[in-house]
C-alpha cells in the first residue's frame, strides 16, 4: 500500500506537487496498472505495416507487443509472449511473416493471433490441447487516427476518438497537411535515467525552459531568431490543454510567429512549408492555416509531437528509467530531398546526440534523482506559474492560455492523479469534443 494519497500528490490549488511521483516504486507499479494498463497508447504508424502480414515490435507500458496486419489486412496488437512458457515469439523489430514460431518449443501463432502449430500435438498432447484457448493475448481495443495506431488493454476504455477528443484538431496540423497523409522514416532508440513523465510534460507544457536550457545551442550559431522578450505575455504563443490530459505548447496564432519558427529550419525546408501552406489552408480551413507549424504536444500519457517533424514515445522501464523512441514523420507527398533534409535536421537537433535533446536530458535526469534523495524528496515541486491568471480564448478548442504558464503542467498531472485514483473509467471525467471545431 502507498504511504501517500495519490490525489494529494498533485495540488493544483496551491500549484505544488510531491516529487516522489517520479521515483516511488509503489506509485510506479500503480501507474503501470492504472495509466498504461488502461489508457490508449501509441503503437506506431500505419505506414510501418502497409502489407498483409507486416509487423513491428513495440511496447504498451513495460509489456512487449507486436503490432501486426493480418493476412486479411486487419490490424492487431498482441502481447509478444508465447502462451506456453512466456518466451517472446518474435525477436525482430519489424518484418513480414505469415506466422511467428516460438524458439523455445516451437508453438506457432498466425498474424491474427491464432495458435496454429504445436509440436507433438498428436503424440505428446493426445490431441487434447484446446488450441482455440491458447492464442496470443490481444489488446482490448485498437484504433487509428489519420495514420497513428493506438491500442488499449481496457475493453471499457472510451473509444479512441473520445479519448483524443479535441486533441485530434491539433494533431491534424501534423497528420493532415497534404493529400496522402504522412509516413515515418527511421527511428532512434536509447535509454535515459529519467522518469517518463519529465519528457512527456516537457514536450507538452514547458516552453519556459527554452531560452535557458537551450541558450548554449543558440550561442553555437543555431539558426532562428528568439523573440525579443521570451517571457512576454502575448497572444502569438499559446498553451492549450486540449482535453483528457493532452497538451499543446507554443501554439502560435499568427503568420508572423509561424514564419519566425520556420527560421529554425534550413532554407529548403522553409520553402517547402511555405509553398505547401495553400494546400494546408484548403484542407484545414483558415482557423489553422496561418498557424501552420506542426504542434509541439503530448498525447497523454507517453507520445509527443514536435515542430521538427518528430513523433516521440517514452516507454517506462522503471520509476527512474525510460526507453526513448523518436520517429521522423513527413508528408508522404513531400519530395525525397525534403524528406531526407527533415530527417537530417531532426538527427542534428533531437535524439540521443541531437543538440537540443542533450540539453533537455540532463535536466530530466537530475529532476528525477531529486525524487529519491533523502532530504530533497520532502520538498514539493513548484508549478505556480500563471496560477489564477488564466486568460482564455474561445477561438480554439480546449483550455487556452497565453504562454508562459504552467497551466498545461497542472492539467497533465491533474488528469494523471485522477486516473491513478479512479477504480475504473466510470469514475474518470472525460472532456468532450468541442463541436464548434469539427471540420
Ligand atoms: S515457451 Fe514458447 S513453445 Fe514453449
Ligand atoms: Fe527543450
Provide φ and ψ at 285, rounded to 5°. 90, 165
pLDDT digits (tens, 9 = 90+) for 232-287: 877 778 899 999 999 999 888 777 777 777 777 888 998 998 899 899 989 998 88
Q: Give me the architecture of the 41-143 domain, per CATH.
A: 3-layer Sandwich (2.102)
Cα–Cα distance for residue pair 357/368, rounded to 1 Å = 16
Nearest CA among 69, 11, 4, 55 for reference residue 30: 4
Domain layout of the chain by residue ranges: 41-143, 165-437
Rounded average pLDDT over 177-181: 96
Best substitution site from 79, 83, 87, 135 to test ligand 1's pocket, by max atoms within 8 Å of Cβ? 87
pLDDT-derived band at 34, boundaries 50, 70, 90: very high
What's the order of all strands across the beta sheet hosting 108-110?
99-101, 108-110, 115-117
Ligand 1 atom closest to residue 89's alpha carbon, by position in its atom list: 2
Beta-carbon count within 10 A of 327 CB: 20
SS3 state at 101: strand
Residue 87 in contact with ligand 1 by CB distance below 6 A: yes
- Give distance in angstroms: CA of 282 to centre of ligand 2: 32
Rounded average pLDDT over 373-384: 96
pLDDT digits (tens, 9 = 90+) for 289-300: 766 678 899 999
pTM: 0.96
Cα–Cα distance for residue pair 15/173, rounded to 1 Å = 31
The Cβ-side half-sphere exposure at 307, using a 13 Å CA radius, reads 23
* Helix 255-262 × helix 267-284 angle, to 10°: 150
Rounded average pLDDT over 40-68: 98
Choose the CATH number for 165-437 among 3.90.380.10, 3.20.20.140, 3.20.20.450, 3.40.630.30. Answer: 3.90.380.10
Best substitution site from 78, 81, 83, 84 to test ligand 1's pocket, by max atoms within 8 Å of Cβ? 84
- Give distance in angstroms: CA of 289 to centre of ligand 1: 53
Cα–Cα distance for residue pair 231/294, rounded to 1 Å = 22
Q: Which ligand is nearest to the CA of 296?
A: 2
DSSP H or E run through 297: strand 296-299
- Give distance in angstroms: CA of 369 to centre of ligand 2: 19
pLDDT-derived band at 1, boundaries 50, 70, 90: very low
The cell numbers describing 26, all together, are 509503489
Amino acid at each position: 500500500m502507498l504511504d501517500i494519497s495519490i490525489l494529494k500528490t498533485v495540488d493544483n490549488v496551491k500549484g505544488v506537487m510531491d516529487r516522489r511521483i517520479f521515483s516511488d516504486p509503489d506509485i510506479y507499479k500503480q501507474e503501470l496498472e492504472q495509466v498504461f494498463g488502461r489508457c490508449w497508447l501509441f503503437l506506431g504508424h500505419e505506414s510501418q505495416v502497409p502489407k498483409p502480414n507486416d509487423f513491428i515490435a513495440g511496447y504498451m507500458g513495460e509489456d512487449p507487443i507486436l503490432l501486426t496486419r493480418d493476412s486479411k489486412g486487419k490490424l492487431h496488437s498482441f502481447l509478444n509472449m508465447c502462451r506456453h512458457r512466456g518466451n517472446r515469439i518474435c525477436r525482430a523489430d519489424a518484418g513480414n511473416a505469415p506466422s511467428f514460431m516460438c524458439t523455445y518449443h516451437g508453438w506457432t501463432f498466425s498474424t491474427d493471433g491464432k495458435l496454429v502449430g504445436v509440436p507433438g500435438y498428436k503424440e505428446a498432447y493426445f490431441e487434447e490441447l484446446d488450441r482455440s484457448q491458447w492464442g496470443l493475448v490481444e489488446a482490448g481495443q485498437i484504433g487509428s487516427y489519420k495514420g497513428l495506431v493506438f491500442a488499449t488493454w481496457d475493453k471499457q476504455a472510451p473509444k479512441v476518438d473520445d479519448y483524443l477528443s479535441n486533441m485530434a484538431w491539433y494533431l491534424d496540423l501534423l497528420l493532415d497537411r497534404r493529400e496522402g497523409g504522412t509516413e515515418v522514416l527511421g527511428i532512434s532508440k536509447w535509454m535515459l535515467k529519467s522518469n517518463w513523465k519529465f519528457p512527456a510534460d516537457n514536450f507538452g507544457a514547458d516552453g519556459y525552459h527554452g531560452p535557458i536550457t537551450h541558450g548554449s545551442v543558440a550561442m553555437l550559431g543555431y539558426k532562428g531568431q528568439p523573440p525579443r522578450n521570451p517571457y512576454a505575455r502575448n497572444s502569438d504563443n499559446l498553451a492549450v490543454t486540449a482535453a483528457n490530459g493532452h497538451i499543446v505548447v507554443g501554439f502560435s496564432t499568427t503568420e508572423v510567429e509561424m514564419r519566425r519558427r520556420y527560421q529554425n529550419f534550413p532554407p529548403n525546408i522553409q520553402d517547402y512549408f511555405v509553398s505547401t501552406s495553400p494546400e494546408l489552408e484548403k484542407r484545414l480551413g483558415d482557423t489553422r492555416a496561418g498557424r501552420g507549424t506542426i504542434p509541439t504536444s503530448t498525447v497523454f500519457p507517453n507520445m509527443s509531437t514536435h515542430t521538427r517533424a518528430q513523433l516521440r514515445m517514452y516507454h517506462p522501464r522503471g520509476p527512474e528509467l525510460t526507453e526513448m523512441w523518436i520517429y521522423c514523420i513527413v508528408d508522404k507527398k513531400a519530395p525525397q530531398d525534403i524528406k531526407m533534409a527533415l530527417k537530417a535536421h531532426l538527427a542534428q537537433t533531437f535524439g540521443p546526440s541531437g543538440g537540443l535533446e542533450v540539453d533537455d536530458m540532463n535536466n530530466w535526469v537530475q529532476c528525477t534523482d531529486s525524487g529519491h534523495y533523502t532530504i530533497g524528496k520532502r520538498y514539493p515541486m513548484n508549478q505556480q506559474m500563471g496560477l489564477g491568471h488564466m486568460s482564455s480564448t474561445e477561438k480554439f478548442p480546449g483550455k487556452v492560455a497565453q504562454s508562459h504558464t504552467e497551466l498545461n503542467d497542472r492539467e497533465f498531472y491533474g488528469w494523471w492523479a485522477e486516473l491513478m485514483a479512479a477504480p475504473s473509467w466510470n469514475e474518470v471525467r472525460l472532456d468532450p469534443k468541442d463541436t464548434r471545431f469539427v471540420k
